[in-house]
Every structure is written in C-alpha cells, then in structure tokens.
Amino acid sequence: MTENIFFDKSKLKRCGANVIIGKTVRIRSPEKVSIGDNVIIDDFTYISGEVTIGDYVHVACNCVLAASQGTIEMKSFSGLSAGCKVYAGSSNYVTCGLDIPTIPIEYQYNTIIDNVILESFALVGANGTVLPGAILPEGFAMAANLIVRKKLKLNPWSLMVNDEGKQIKRKGVKELHQRVNQFYNINFKNLEE
C-alpha cells in the first residue's frame, strides 16, 4: 500500500483495522483524529481538528471535515458523498469579528463554534454542507447540494429533500437493520417502518 504524502498514519490518535486512506488525503494535526475499523477515506479529502470516525464509515473524495475549535463525530455506518463539507466552526458573517486562523486566539472573537454529530447511518449527499451545531440523527439522509443548519428539525430515518428541511420517510429500514446485525451488533434507535 502506498503511504500518504501529507501525514504520517502512525501519528493518528487511533487508526483501526482495515482502514484505507487515499495517498492525497490531508490530515492536519493527525494526533487529534480517531478512525475506527473498516473505514475508507478517499483522495483529496482534508481533515482538520478533533475528528472521530466510527466503524464502516466512507468519506468520499474532495470532502472537508473542519472541526476548528469544536469537534466532528461520524458514528458507525455514516457517510459523506463526494464534495461534502462539514464545519464545526464558522465566521459570523452578519456581525463583524476576528476569527480567521491567522489571528492569535486571544484576539479572536465572534466565531461560531459548535460540535457536529453524524449519528449512525447518517448520509450526506454529494456537495452537501453541514454547518456548526448540526446533529444528523440516526438514519437521516440528505439529497445532493443541500445545507443542514443547527436550527432545522431533523427526523431519524428520513430524507431531507430541500434546504428548508422538508423530509420524507426512508424505506427499507428493517431490512437494513437485519442485514447489519448479521455481522455487526448495533442498537438501532427510533426504528420504525
């Protein structure tokens, strides 16, 4: 297997078994990143800050996971399609502030920092964006090119189809549960069909 050209895999806080990390994945501060078992992180992805990735997670190519001073957690079986962006920190664009990383931390102000969680089986469609404070519930999915904000009421096992938060119920949940339990014991929450 070809070694990564941007960081030393041995410096990761944790790296499970059967992990594939693309040669061009960039991880700033690998000592803050934990990766579970059976994970694939595709090329041209950038990870920064305190990020925890569970088992059987896929992060497709060209994704950004920017935790800033917060945290990002992707629980088991969650996934990001190509081009997704997940932010636990952001500027407050309405009110001025000093919050870019070139400013000494003691002078920074008016930054939005809020942890992000993708619960088990949460999926983000291609080019989707997850903003600070968003919690994607178990089984939640979002269509391509959408933005998830903290203020949206997101339902487990639903598919978000527009930026206003319209959701429809996902199908096949019980079959998914049965198949996953054949090889991985997981406690499903909010399981309805």
Residues 6+ apart with CB under 8 A from 69: 49, 88, 89, 111, 113
| Inside any domain, residue 192 | no
What type of residue sits at position 87? Y
Query: Nearest Cα to 55, choosing from 73, 36, 69, 40?
Result: 36
Residue 133 domain-assigned (yes or no): yes
Please answer whether residues 87 and 130 qualify as being in contact, where contact means their C-beta atoms are separated by less than 8 angstroms.
yes
pTM of the model: 0.93
Q: Is residue 54 part of a domain?
A: yes
Q: What is the per-residue pLDDT across 136-147, written as a single tens digit (0 to 9) for each? A: 999 999 999 999
pLDDT surpassing 90 at residue 189 = no
Total domain count for the chain?
Answer: 1
The answer to whether position 4 is within a domain reads no
Location of structure tokens 């996934």: 79
Instruction: Give me the percent of the chain exceeding a pLDDT of 90.
Output: 84
Q: For the residues 12-28, what does the mean pLDDT come to?
A: 97
What is the average per-residue pLDDT within 171-177? 92
> Which contacts (CB < 8 Å, 24+ apart) does range 27-31 have?
none
Between the alpha carbon of residue 63 and those of residues 66, 80, 122, the distances in Å are 10, 7, 16
Q: Containing H/E element for 58?
A: strand 58-59
| Structure token pair of residue 83 | 């081009």
Q: Say if residues 45 and 26 touch (Cβ distance below 8 Å).
A: yes
Q: How far apart are CA 91 and CA 73, in angstroms?
A: 21
Evaluate whether residue 190 is within a structural domain: no
Q: Which domain holds residue 119?
A: 9-181
Q: Tell me the per-residue pLDDT of 86-120, one tens digit each, with 9 for 90 and over.
A: 999 999 899 999 988 899 989 989 999 999 999 99
Question: What confidence score (pLDDT) does residue 33 get?
Answer: 98
Other beta carbons less than 10 A from residue 172's beta carbon: 10
Question: In the beta sheet, which residues pair with residue 116?
Answer: 72
Residue range 24-71, pLDDT digits in tens: 999 999 999 999 999 999 999 999 999 999 999 999 999 999 999 999
Contact call for residues 36 and 17 (beta carbons, < 8 A):
no
pLDDT of 190: 60
4 pLDDT band (50/70/90 cuts)? confident
CATH code at 113?
A: 2.160.10.10
Q: What does pLDDT average to over the chain?
A: 94
